[in-house]
Amino acid sequence: MSNIAAISTPSGIGGIAVIRVSGPQAIECVSSHFIPFRTDHALSSRPSHTLTFGQFYASPLAVEQFSADNTKRETCLDEVVVSLYRAPHSFTGEDVVEISCHGSIYIQQQILEALCNSKADTGNSTSNEGRPYIRLAEPGEFTRRAFANGRFDLSQAEAVADLISAQSAASHRIAMQQMKGCISLKLASLHDQLLHLNSLLVLELDFSEEDVEFADRSQLLALAQNIDNEVTRLASTFQAGQAIKNGIPVAIIGAPNVGKSTLLNALLKEDRAIVSDIQGTTRDLIEDTITLGGYLFRFIDTAGIRHTDDRIEQLGIERSHQAASRAQIILLMSEPGIDYPEIEHRNDQHIIYILNKVDTTGQAPVATLDFPVSHISISAKNGTGIDALENALIDCVRVKDSQSDVILTNLRHYEALQDAHSHLLRVIQDLSSHISADLVAEDLLSVIDSLNAILGRSITTQDTLNNIFKNFCIGK
């Protein structure tokens, strides 16, 4: 296994930057460029999880000369703090060294170039000149090594990328839960139940000549149905998880001039959308995000819904209906004397009815509807009622967020659960039809394989793993 290095902090200038090195000779590689200020703090003798302050040199030869005469300082790149993590108690499970230097782009690049100074890769961790060989890490290679070394399973490895890209407290919390193994524990429980079910069927096959039945088919059927219900329930959290991760889509829908753009500006606290008394001013979707109550909301201002012969405005209205169909929350706006527009909606969508411009009339919204909705009176222009609207938005998401202890955010996991569900339906059908145990067991193994794929237990091809880790940033 070769030694790898990369800048782990974001590109650009900052107070501090971190260069991470991992591999069997990571400590030796860094030691050849590093001189601690205390002579008894040589990295080779330092215990794991310690910090060492010293100077980093561009050339290993300069370190050797400095050690001899204590005067060679012209090639010192920076004063740095080195964090040492010895295998297996590190992120990757290998020896890991992290160099914290000043955030100058020049210093970062010089340290990285100094580490990756070998002329050629000889196929192992040593260069042609006998010095340890370091190469630049590929995107996600540190996390991939952690997975390969058993530091965590694949679902936890993927959660690292979600944690890095978290844009809100809610998406951060979900990523942390997944990185701690909440999905792994849930799947492990299902895996054990499936193995128990499969074991009973295999035993039945082994003793088929003695006509022994180790479990009543109705009991096996009930167990399979319970497992399928849990798989289906977990898969059903994917839509909410995606919304929390990427931003809950909220469509602002209403007739022209009821104050949709004014409301968007009031929520964002900036003039994002053009406000005008002229009908049809908003002809295309305007989208922006804001965090409320720890959740990221993605607001979409739409064209006013009305009958018009203007072809361009008609296209905007069509997009308004499309935005409403994709949204999880619809803010349906009106004003005194104006009807709420009729729109198609799904049962899983939450509609909040808003009566705007109450500062001009003092009226409250009155509506007779076939389903329970929220009614909020506001003045988008003056900011009246905006706090109540924000609280209602947070409550809409909090209810869905609290309905499950595990929330799915990864498309690959969702597809694997859907695959497991389709195999479980065959298992249930087989058990109901009294098909032979060997065919049922075969379908059960397909279910187990689908769940194992989420954890990475059945993923062996390099192409598949490369595809999973390709979107990770370099240095992680």
CATH value at residue 16 = 3.30.1360.120
Q: At what angle do helices 260-268 and 386-401 cross, to 10 degrees?
A: 80
The whole-number average pLDDT for the span 393-397 is 89
Asked if 302 and 383 sit in the same domain, the reply is: yes
Asked if 92 and 196 sit in the same domain, the reply is: no
pLDDT band, residue 7 (cuts 50/70/90): very high
Low-confidence winner among 59-68, 77-86, 99-108, 184-193 (lowest mean pLDDT): 59-68
Q: Is the pLDDT of residue 450 over 80?
A: yes
**The two three-digit tokens of residue 291, written as one number:** 């965090």
Helix (H, G, I), strand (E, B) or coil at 247: coil
**The two three-digit tokens of residue 81, written as one number:** 């703090």
The beta-strand segments (E) located in 29-86 are 34-36, 50-57, 76-85
Contact 189, 196 (CB under 8 A): no
In a domain, 208, yes or no: yes
In a domain, 118, yes or no: yes
Contact 26, 12 (CB under 8 A): no
In a domain, 32, yes or no: yes
Asked if 365 and 269 sit in the same domain, the reply is: yes
Bridge partners (DSSP) of residue 93 are none
122, 137, 152 - which closes a domain: 137
Q: Is the pLDDT of residue 362 over 60?
A: no
Give the chain's end-to-end CA distance (angstroms, integer): 17
pLDDT score recorded for residue 234 = 93
Contact 139, 474 (CB under 8 A): yes
Asked if 219 and 266 sit in the same domain, the reply is: no
447: closest CA among 204, 191, 153? 191
342, 377, 401 - which closes a domain: 401
- Return the number of other C-beta atoms located less than 10 Å from residue 117's C-beta: 18
In a domain, 441, yes or no: yes
State how far the Cα of 417 lies from the Cα of 229, in Å rounded to an integer. Answer: 11
pLDDT score recorded for residue 26 = 94
Low-confidence winner among 34-43, 254-263, 305-314, 410-419 (lowest mean pLDDT): 305-314
**The two three-digit tokens of residue 361, written as one number:** 């009339």
The whole-number average pLDDT for the span 145-173 is 88
Sheet holding 50-57, edge to edge: 34-36, 50-57, 76-85, 96-103, 14-22, 3-7, 134-136
In a domain, 274, yes or no: yes
Q: Is the pLDDT of residue 227 over 50?
A: yes
The domain tally of the chain equals 3
| CATH number, residue 442 | 1.20.120.430
Q: At what angle do helices 154-165 and 182-206 cross, to 10 degrees?
A: 160
Asked if 227 and 348 sit in the same domain, the reply is: no
Q: Is the pLDDT of residue 439 over 60?
A: yes
Asked if 334 and 199 sit in the same domain, the reply is: no
In a domain, 476, yes or no: no
137, 154, 184 - which closes a domain: 137
For the segment 138-147, what is each residue's pLDDT rounded down to a tens digit?
988 999 999 8
Q: Is the pLDDT of residue 166 over 80?
A: yes
Provide DSSP, 388-418: HHHHHHHHHHHHHHTT-SS----HHHHHHHH
| CATH number, residue 257 | 3.40.50.300
Asked if 392 and 423 sit in the same domain, the reply is: no
Contact 43, 51 (CB under 8 A): no
In a domain, 142, yes or no: no
State how far the Cα of 43 lies from the Cα of 41, in Å rounded to an integer. Answer: 6
Contact 453, 460 (CB under 8 A): no
State how far the Cα of 201 lies from the Cα of 461, in Å rounded to an integer. Answer: 30
The whole-number average pLDDT for the span 365-382 is 63
Asked if 265 and 330 sit in the same domain, the reply is: yes
299: closest CA among 379, 236, 380, 368? 380
Asked if 383 and 417 sit in the same domain, the reply is: no
153: closest CA among 476, 471, 474, 468? 468
- Residues near 18 by beta carbon (within 8 Å), at least 6 away in sequence: 7, 8, 9, 98, 99, 100, 101
Asked if 83 and 201 sit in the same domain, the reply is: no
State how far the Cα of 201 lies from the Cα of 434, in Å rounded to an integer. Answer: 12
The parent domain of residue 35 ranges over 3-137
pLDDT band, residue 339 (cuts 50/70/90): confident
State how far the Cα of 150 lies from the Cα of 449, in Å rounded to an integer. Answer: 19
Asked if 388 and 414 sit in the same domain, the reply is: no
pLDDT score recorded for residue 100 = 97
In a domain, 149, yes or no: no
Asked if 393 and 419 sit in the same domain, the reply is: no
Contact 42, 82 (CB under 8 A): no
